[in-house]
Amino acid sequence: MRAAGNERFAAGDMDGAAECYREAEEALRFVPPNASVGSERSALLLAVWLNLSLVMLRLRRWREVVEYTGQVLAREPGSVKALFRRASALLEGLQEFDEAERDVSAGLTLEPANGDLRRLKRSIAQARASERRRESARYSRMFGGPEPPVVEPP
């Protein structure tokens, strides 16, 4: 099921990939008979949730990205992939800058040279600055002040 999901993902069929990954997730919901099987089951679940989070990111289903990455991070707090994907969803879709920045900082603590996290950190700063400019212009219009020009960052 997971392999079929990977094939569909590679083919660009995000809905099909999500369906396969959800089937894999469902198949992994059992009580393991011993610790060895339990460890293997947990590792597979984490991989499936990470795959689902990536699919949901591509489908722009922000809350589902947060949900799946949250499941991963509850079991593996040091998952840089999960931190990056959740921060991306929090920034791009939910405009939750503080939470996104918190995840990026946690990821950079674990991998200080991670280029994707560094770029995301800059994107958060730019989004915050842009939001402040829009709010300033909005309040200026509401209270009759001169309307400042809205300039987007380069």
Contact status, residue 76 vs residue 82, Cβ threshold 8 Å? yes
What pLDDT score does 148 carry?
59
pLDDT at position 53 over 90 = yes
pLDDT at position 58 over 60 = yes
Contact status, residue 132 vs residue 152, Cβ threshold 8 Å? no
> How many other CB atoms sit within 10 Å of the CB of residue 99?
15
What pLDDT score does 146 carry?
57
Which H or E element spans position 35? helix 35-58
pLDDT digits (tens, 9 = 90+) for 120-134: 999 999 999 988 888
pLDDT digits (tens, 9 = 90+) for 89-124: 999 999 999 999 999 999 999 999 999 999 999 999
In terms of Cα–Cα distance, which of 101, 85, 7, 98 is closest to 46? Answer: 85
Contact status, residue 114 vs residue 101, Cβ threshold 8 Å? no
